[in-house]
């Protein structure tokens, strides 16, 4: 599933490709993607301008003229790309946005898990998933005081705690493994057992890792590409994720892989000791 750096990379690409373009009409080939009748979806979006594309956590927010926002969650393999107007959609191109300037924006989703929802601007943060979302992993939004207060309330293992978007937005399997390794925290460590010193370290690593991943256009592990059809580059920077059996970059101990909360989890048994 694309995580925050990948979604931010897509957002930046879409801003360059389709911002300020007018939606002439839409075609929906998989109704579940938009959650409404395709004709109604078209009636809502036709003749509106894509004024801005924002992001909150892993959600893309297409800000449209007339006070509407289309909330888009890519889920496992959703992606956007532009083609010349009139291009025949492929098997997995579920939605077409016909734009001015002889451009079509395709939404492709091989697994059909991605979802779009059109709401008034003022209702965006009531959409499921956004209504309970935590702060962005940035220096301005994610304060140490917040982390101390939030973490002390939960005995949950730290990995599923961080994967829960209501605590911190945008973190997924890859970057949780990375930041826990950087912070020398075992993935089964209870969230409320972390000291303020350890939370300070974890906060710094989360913020820095997200920024580094964005600068490298995200991580391509399976099928992620940018809005320009390019693969991310951060997989070349990963220190622990996907490196099970290889030596730890810090101590040389072979990295181990286990399952935590049903997610494959790679860690160093020497550096990340359960306290």
Do 107 and 78 meet the contact criterion of CB atoms below 8 Å apart?
A: yes
> Pick from 40, 68, 36, 41: which is nearest to 52 by CA?
68
The residues, ordered by sequence, that sit 6+ positions from 33 with a Cβ below 8 Å of its Cβ are 94, 95, 107, 109, 112, 114, 115, 116
Residue 58 among the catalytic residues: yes
Active site residue 198: no
SS3 content of the chain, % helix, strand, coil (to 5): 30, 25, 45
The one catalytic residue among 3, 44, 77, 178: 3
CA 190 to chain centre: 25
Residue in 2, 5, 137, 160 annotated catalytic: 2
The two tokens of residue 240 are: 């622990």
Angle at 176 between CA 175 and CA 178, to 5 degrees: 60
SS3 (DSSP) at 1: coil
Tokens 């970059």 appear where? 249
Strand partners of residue 250: none
Rounded Cα distance, 267 and 274, in Å: 11
Q: Which residues of 15-45 are buried (b: 16+ CB within 10 A; e: fewer)?
A: eebbeebebbebbbeeeebbebebeebbebb
Which position among 11, 55, 56, 58 bears the catalytic label?
Answer: 58
Active site residue 3: yes
Helix (H) or strand (E) holding 11: helix 4-18
- Indicate which residue of 12, 212, 263, 269 is catalytic: 263
Contact 124, 116 (CB under 8 A): no
**Which residues have a catalytic role annotated?**
2-3, 58, 263
């Amino acid at each position: 599933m694309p995580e925050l750096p990948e979604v931010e990379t897509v957002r930046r690409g879409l801003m360059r490709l389709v911002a300020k373009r007018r939606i002439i009409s839409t075609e929906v080939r998989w109704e579940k993607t938009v959650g409404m009748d395709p004709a109604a979806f078209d009636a809502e979006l036709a003749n509106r301008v894509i004024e801005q594309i924002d992001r909150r956590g892993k959600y893309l927010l297409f800000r449209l003229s007339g006070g509407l926002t289309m909330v888009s969650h890519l889920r496992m393999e959703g992606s956007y790309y532009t083609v010349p107007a009139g291009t025949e959609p492929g098997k997995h191109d579920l939605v077409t946005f016909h734009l001015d300037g002889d451009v079509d924006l395709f939404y492709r989703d091989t697994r059909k898990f991605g979802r779009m929802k059109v709401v008034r601007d003022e209702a965006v943060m009531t959409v499921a998933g956004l209504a309970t979302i935590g702060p962005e992993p940035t220096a301005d939004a994610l304060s140490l005081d917040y982390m101390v207060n939030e973490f002390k309330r939960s005995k949950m293992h730290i990995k599923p705690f961080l994967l829960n978007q209501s605590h911190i937005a945008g973190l997924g399997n890859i970057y949780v493994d990375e930041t826990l390794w950087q912070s020398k925290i075992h993935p089964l460590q209870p969230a409320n057992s972390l000291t303020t010193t350890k939370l300070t370290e974890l906060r710094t690593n989360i913020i820095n890792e997200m920024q580094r991943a964005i600068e490298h256009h995200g991580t391509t592990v399976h099928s992620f590409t940018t809005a320009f059809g390019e693969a991310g580059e951060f997989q070349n920077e990963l220190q622990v994720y996907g490196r099970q059996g290889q030596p730890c970059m810090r101590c040389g101990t072979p990295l181990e892989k286990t399952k935590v909360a049903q997610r494959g989890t790679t860690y160093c048994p020497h550096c990340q000791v359960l306290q």
